[in-house]
Structure 1
Amino acid sequence: MPAPKVLISDALSEAAVQIFRDRGIDVDFQPNLGKDKEALAAIIANYDGLAIRSNTKATAKLLAEAAKLKVIGRAGIGVDNVDVPAATAKGVIVMNTPFGNSITTAEHAIAMMFALARQIPQADASTQAGKWEKNRFMGVELTGKTLGVVGCGNIGANVADRAIGLKLKVIAYDPFLSPERAVALGVEKVELDQLLARADIITLHVPMTDKTRNILSEENLAKTKRGVRIVNCARGGLVDEQALRAALDSGHVAGAAFDVFVTEPATENVLFGHPNVICTPHLGASTSEAQENVALQVAEQMSDYLLSGAISNAVNFPSISAEEAPRLKPFVSLAEKLGSFLGQLTEAPIKGIRITYEGAVAAMNTRALTSAAVTGVLRPFLADINMVSAPAIAKDRGIVIDEIKREGGVSEFESVIRITVDAEDMPRDAAGTVFHDGKPRVIEIRGIEIEAALTPHMLYVRNHDRPGFIGSFGSVLGEAGVNIGTFNLGRESEGGNAIAFVAVDAPVPPEVLAKIQDIPQVKRVRPVNF
């Protein structure tokens, strides 16, 4: 059998290249190829693996040419440059190195705070120009100031730890941060509005999701303390750049330090040129130590997968052996989709997740299934989470994971997975199974029996079981040109609480959802996407 072939299309260290060679993998090192998408597309069909940093864009178009590709390894945490759904559809594992550059990014955020507080770049430019403007650059001390950390995961916790050492008071907003974890870190857990009102400096350390996009919107920037300083070394798009420029111009925001931007490479930006703005070209992970760490990690992970089928740090599949994969794969899909369904319905902070395995599935490798379930629940909030890091991330945030196994038959189905998400407002639960066709099905929601396949676009409706609902619902969708694929109903009792789980051919626009919500029998409607 020929040796697997790996293409390295971005700059990785020679030590990482040597790992592939030492493991018997045929490696093609072309560190500048990622910048030439046409040249890359012309040869990608020859390779089993693709090792990249951020220059290579693994788009759906590129993946369509990748006939042999089995794995993409991203040396770093962010996989924004990889079309993960397209890779998953082709059976391509996407791996990252989620913890390799956390310290480096945290240090860059701290450096940006100092640069803002003392206007170091501006003072350097002035001094080297021979001006000696000693009175112009009046700085502020960091000691005693209040630092607001938005997102207190791995990187945010490292920033908080260093800030406490610098004698700042640290307050943190993170829906997943438990009170116990906050005490252990030495930070005060607050709501976002409290953080905005109290912080002298705000630093962002959250992923880009629909929930975090423009978390510092025009409205939220107006809630901040006058004279606040803002640092973003996380993701472009967490701050409304136009609104921030206006707040800088008015003097409400005293300064901003950005390492990331909505559009990158950022050759022009509305923030550029403002005297109180400091910008760096996405240097958060750019230290020799971090670059070496993530390069070595990705080389080892890809080699393990290509040679033995072992999977680690995959963003689209859990860690399981090659022997287990065929049997587990449909249940992995079921666990993640059930979790995703519940996660998309949950807005309050999550305290716990309980997964119950009934029947034959209880004898399988449920660790991978639990990781898949937790990933599904948390991914609507944490886009960069993967099935390997999910349990650790849940633990860091004080989310209790319970796993219950009942191998004896307790239902009419051979195997059942039940998930309960315990949130601060209320628990949410659902159960599902895998039929002989290998496809996951929901069989119970909120204790109500229902049978529904899980399709890419669905509507979940809670309603009163009264005449007229189905007709009104169908009319609203029909008038909007939305086609129904399947329509599944369940109810507690005649005239009581009922649910509908409806597959549609495309996402339903917000204005149509509003019309459904206005139907008298409807309690709540939510779009669900898989």
Structure 2
Amino acid sequence: MPRVLISDQMSPKAAEIFRARGIEVDEITGLSKDELIKIIGQYDGLAIRSSTKVTKDVLAAATNLKVVGRAGIGVDNVDIPAASSRGVVVMNTPFGNSITTAEHAIALMFALARQLPEADASTQAGKWEKNRFMGVEVTAKTLGLIGAGNIGSIVADRALGLKMKVIAYDPFLTPERAEHMGVTKVTLDELLAQADFISLHTPLTDSTRNILSRENLLKCKPGIRIVNCARGGLIDEAALKELLDSGHIAGAALDVFAEEPAKSSPLFGTPNFVSTPHLGASTDEAQVNVAIQVAEQLSDFLLTGGVTNALNMPSLSAEEAPRLKPYMALAERLGSLVGQLDKDGIKSVRIEVEGAAAQLNIKPITAAVLAGLMRVHSDTVNMVNAPYLAREREIEIAEVRHERDTDYNTLLRVTVHTANGPRTVAGTLFGMSKPRLTEIFGITVEADLAGDMLYIVNEDKPGFIGRLGSALGSAGVNIGTFHLGRRDAGGEAVLLLSVDNAIPDALLTDIRALPGVKVASALHFV
């Protein structure tokens, strides 16, 4: 009989489900790290919320542990690489608290609009300062959403019910999805210039960190009010305080902070600033939902091998996994290549398989393409939830098998339709095990996709490679491999080279300034 430990406080429904499914469960909360290490070796599964820290040391002691389930979305308290290296599956419940978080964002928006916390404190102090608290209506105001995924779409729906105009910035939002949601898709600069309120609903990634930087906050029109119930680190908190003090920003409400628990933030005490202690998921309904979901997911995995919402494991049967593993690696890298080079307005994705690949289960291959494609914008995308996120954004997915002869024993082709038109890449397996690029945007070029790379489109003229080599050499960047392709002599050429270290931004700027360069992008493949 499998045995599960619930080490954080959660709804009793979780333990009830485990017992009903025939799984032995212990509820022991408030454990120190040493106490957890002492007993964790007894358990096959671990159900947690945010308090338990599943560190490398804990995992080393978990000799029987097979799965960790997080009741909620954030897994910052789990060392996922260490779990993966020990064969421990990590799952979360990313959609159990969506409504709760969206409602909290709306509540904070109202708190800002009518200065509710300050008015409450003043009234309870016996001051009755009726003329001091002159609020604004939300009706007919423009709400700008940064992120229009699951939670953002719920906020949009509620805001439209309040007769607000909703605009949204989201690289994955298609015009068709925007129309279905009743929102207007805009660029980030357009959103900053037009919005009366801004609400953030995007993961924290390299591309979204400080998305509301001082520069972008200054682009907002005076009197903007900002709500963040997504992730700390999306806003430059020092700049936020400065602009609150100056009056450029009329109000801000944060449920999340760059450093948590936030017990001494310089924002505390700032006029027109509202804060809550990461309460986005804190309702009775949400806590019951995530507890039920985590118990059902862990039970399915321990009893039948079913995998749902795993962050480090694809949905695969044991028989398929060995054959599909190299294909999924190829698929993920092809998706990642397109995702890094063309980030905006994905409308559809077409996955074609030829040769030996046409005989395989294409679903995991598709999921791997989508995971690579979307990972540039989200830290929680994986092969399990990527297809869901694609459906949520109404991205059309086409899977095509070709029963025809090909120049390669096996071939995978990915075509992504974006705002910039169709973009096609293709690849094969060298020795049926090593992923290799064979075509990029209509140009034949063979290259490995691994580590740090540099992608350049340039005019095919003499002297360019020498100028590029000099620029890289002067910057101390060592070239690993060098791959060239071109449409025709003297026309457009493509260069893919691997480098030993990431290309610095300053060097990338210098490369883009070289004569003949049309496009230069730094790439990274895990």
| Match status 1:359 vs 2:355 | yes
| 1:68, distance to aligned residue in structure 2 (A) | 4.7
* 1:209-242 deviation line (CA, Å, top 9, x unaligned): 2222222221222222222211111111111111
* 1:120-178 deviation line (CA, Å, top 9, x unaligned): 22222222233333332222222232222222211111111112222222222223223
CA distance in 2: counterparts of 1:175 and 1:163, whole angstroms? 21
The RMSD of aligned alpha carbons is 2.6
Deviates more, 1:221-230 or 1:88-97: 88-97
| 1:57, distance to aligned residue in structure 2 (A) | 3.6
CA distance in 2: counterparts of 1:58 and 1:432, whole angstroms? 38
SS at match of 2:257: coil
Aligned pairs for 1:144-159 (under 5 A) are 144-159=140-155
Of 228, 238, 241, the residue aligned with 2:237 is 241
| 1:299, distance to aligned residue in structure 2 (A) | 1.6
Of 274, 277, 281, the residue aligned with 2:273 is 277
Aligned-partner residue type, residue 123 of structure 1: A
CA distance in 1: counterparts of 2:269 and 2:112, whole angstroms? 15
Cα distance change of structure 1 residues 77 and 510 upon mapping to structure 2, 3 Å threshold: same
SS at match of 1:95: strand
SS at match of 2:29: coil
Aligned pairs for 1:300-379 (under 5 A) are 300-379=296-375
Of 125, 129, 133, the residue aligned with 2:125 is 129
* 1:313-352 deviation line (CA, Å, top 9, x unaligned): 1233332333322222222222112101110111332222
Residue number in structure 1 paired with 2:10: 12
CA distance in 2: counterparts of 1:408 and 1:479, whole angstroms? 48
| 1:364, distance to aligned residue in structure 2 (A) | 1.9
| 1:60, distance to aligned residue in structure 2 (A) | 5.1
| 1:27, distance to aligned residue in structure 2 (A) | 3.6
CA distance in 2: counterparts of 1:282 and 1:77, whole angstroms? 13
| Match status 1:92 vs 2:85 | no
* 1:33-55 deviation line (CA, Å, top 9, x unaligned): 3xx44544555555443322222
* 1:299-321 deviation line (CA, Å, top 9, x unaligned): 21122223322211123333233
Of 32, 56, 70, the residue aligned with 2:30 is 32
Residue number in structure 1 paired with 2:523: 528
| Match status 1:171 vs 2:158 | no
| Match status 1:292 vs 2:288 | yes
* 1:360-389 deviation line (CA, Å, top 9, x unaligned): 222322122112211211121233333333
Residue number in structure 2 paired with 1:395: 391
| Match status 1:440 vs 2:435 | yes
* 1:487-522 deviation line (CA, Å, top 9, x unaligned): 344444555544333333332322333344455465
CA distance in 2: counterparts of 1:27 and 1:322, whole angstroms? 27
| Match status 1:428 vs 2:419 | no
* 1:164-223 deviation line (CA, Å, top 9, x unaligned): 222222222223223333333222333322322222221111111222222222122222
SS at match of 2:198: strand
Aligned-partner residue type, residue 186 of structure 1: G
SS at match of 1:350: coil
Is the CA contact 1:308–1:322 (under 8 Å) kept in the aligned structure 2? no
Of 65, 73, 84, the residue aligned with 1:77 is 73
Is the CA contact 2:245–2:271 (under 8 Å) kept in the aligned structure 1? no
CA distance in 2: counterparts of 1:190 and 1:521, whole angstroms? 32
Is the CA contact 2:174–2:346 (under 8 Å) kept in the aligned structure 1? no
Deviates more, 1:461-470 or 1:326-335: 461-470
Aligned-partner residue type, residue 503 of structure 1: S
Cα distance change of structure 1 residues 450 and 6 upon mapping to structure 2, 3 Å threshold: farther
Aligned-partner residue type, residue 8 of structure 1: I
| 1:464, distance to aligned residue in structure 2 (A) | 4.5
Is the CA contact 2:172–2:344 (under 8 Å) kept in the aligned structure 1? no
Is the CA contact 2:453–2:497 (under 8 Å) kept in the aligned structure 1? yes
CA distance in 2: counterparts of 1:8 and 1:513, whole angstroms? 49
Gaps of 5+ in 2: none
Aligned-partner residue type, residue 110 of structure 1: I
SS at match of 1:449: strand
| Match status 1:263 vs 2:259 | yes
Number of equivalent positions: 525
Aligned pairs for 1:193-272 (under 5 A) are 193-272=189-268
Aligned-partner residue type, residue 21 of structure 2: R
Is the CA contact 2:174–2:345 (under 8 Å) kept in the aligned structure 1? no
CA distance in 2: counterparts of 1:43 and 1:12, whole angstroms? 20
CA distance in 1: counterparts of 2:95 and 2:187, whole angstroms? 27
Aligned pairs for 1:417-496 (under 5 A) are 417-436=412-431, 438-465=433-460, 468-470=463-465, 472-493=467-488, 496=491
CA distance in 2: counterparts of 1:468 and 1:28, whole angstroms? 70
Deviates more, 1:496-505 or 1:303-312: 496-505
Deviates more, 1:475-484 or 1:233-242: 475-484
| TM-score normalized with structure 2 length | 0.91
| 1:290, distance to aligned residue in structure 2 (A) | 0.6
SS at match of 2:347: strand
Residue number in structure 1 paired with 2:179: 183
CA distance in 1: counterparts of 2:12 and 2:160, whole angstroms? 38
SS at match of 2:506: helix
Gaps of 5+ in 1: none
Identity within the alignment, %: 61
| 1:98, distance to aligned residue in structure 2 (A) | 1.8
SS at match of 1:134: coil
* 1:60-85 deviation line (CA, Å, top 9, x unaligned): 56555555543332211233333444
CA distance in 2: counterparts of 1:451 and 1:84, whole angstroms? 33
CA distance in 2: counterparts of 1:464 and 1:6, whole angstroms? 61
Deviates more, 1:207-216 or 1:235-244: 207-216
Aligned-partner residue type, residue 454 of structure 1: L
Cα distance change of structure 1 residues 69 and 515 upon mapping to structure 2, 3 Å threshold: farther
| 1:26, distance to aligned residue in structure 2 (A) | 4.2
| 1:485, distance to aligned residue in structure 2 (A) | 3.8
| TM-score normalized with structure 1 length | 0.90
SS at match of 1:206: coil
| 1:528, distance to aligned residue in structure 2 (A) | 1.7
Aligned-partner residue type, residue 184 of structure 2: E
Cα distance change of structure 1 residues 62 and 421 upon mapping to structure 2, 3 Å threshold: farther
| 1:418, distance to aligned residue in structure 2 (A) | 0.8
Aligned-partner residue type, residue 441 of structure 1: R
Cα distance change of structure 1 residues 425 and 86 upon mapping to structure 2, 3 Å threshold: farther
